[in-house]
Amino acid sequence: MSNLKLTSYSDGFGIFHKVSEEEFDVTNKNYLRMFMLNTENKLFNYDELYEFILPNITQYVFSRKKLLEIESDPGKQRTIILDALSHLRSIKNNADKGAGGELGEILLYLFLEQDLNAPKLFSKVELKTNSEDYIKGSDGIHFKFRTNKNGIKILQLVIGEAKIKNKLDDAIDEAFDSINKYLSGNIQDRNLLDTHLMDQLVDKDEATLIKEYITAIPRKKKETIFGIFIGYSINYSGVDDTNDEYDRKVIEENIAQVLNYKDYIIEKINRHHVSNYEFNFYFLPFHNAARDRKVIMQSLTNGKAKLEWGEIKNG
């Protein structure tokens, strides 16, 4: 098995509380994993979220090779966070419907590394620095290994998709639309693995091992699985709850809200004829997903050390 390490920092990942995990079979086993942030006075603690994301931005944006170069250059260490933030999409105005969407891609990266234990090969923003057309590809490429019943190690190439929408069904629909496009004709990820794989991996032994599964002929056995991050607006307000009542009920209501779409997801898998893939869903609620993602990303792209709500008030 590869000794390739995770690129993200684990310190602070505990801000995400796994409140439920559901396994379900269509053909292969699939997973719905539900997480929540801490609450403070019946509000999700976005300050903690921001403070965890910020130091991980450089890890998300840059390759292992680039990060290794930075470690040996004190000058770059002082400015690298500004360089990383400059690669994120700035928010021009409130009418920009896609504003803040990169937050989903960042959170996808963190959940795939820290919960699924699947190190990244490429992030979407990282690859956009190499290929302007990559925006048409997936939201990230990670990998992990599993061992089958015969003791054979199989490389799982994790294709990531991230959606943050106010409505859960909209986010699920768009995720499956993206998966369908990926499977029906997108070859950019495969081409980029061929052309940029060696740029990503610092250790030659690590690179050789991964190439045995991805680019060699004949190749060792691998399979594609999907990692999907879904951010959405929670339906529960709990206006009349005490703080303690809210902490309990918001978890219950959040689990119920997500599980209400379990059959919908199964229907999507069958309708798109993708039951031959494994799906790993990560769900995280926001108060107002469209608004909150803008606020968080605006603070990041403005280089703020702390989360600032600014002038964005509505989703």
pLDDT digits (tens, 9 = 90+) for 277-295: 999 999 999 999 999 999 9
- Tokens in use for 7? 């690129």
CB 190 within 8 A of CB 213: no
218: preceding bond cis by omega (within 30 degrees)? yes
> Mean pLDDT score of the chain, rounded to an integer?
88
**At 300, is the pLDDT very low, low, confident or very high (cuts 50, 70, 90)?**
very high
Taking the C-alpha atoms of residue 45 and residue 238, their distance in angstroms, rounded to an integer, is 16
| AA letter at 55 | P
Check whether 314 has a pLDDT greater than 50: no
Tell me the mean pLDDT in the region 157-164: 95
Show me where the domains of the chain are located.
13-301
pLDDT in tens, 223-263: 999 999 999 999 999 999 999 999 999 999 999 999 999 99
pLDDT band (50, 70, 90) for residue 199: low
Q: What confidence category does residue 87 fall into, taking pLDDT thresholds of 50, 70 and 90?
A: confident
Residue-wise pLDDT for 94-114, tens only, equals 555 556 889 999 999 999 999
Q: Give ∠ CA 229-301-84 in degrees, rounded to 5.
A: 80
Q: Which of 34, 26, 24, 19 is nearest to 229 (CA)?
A: 34
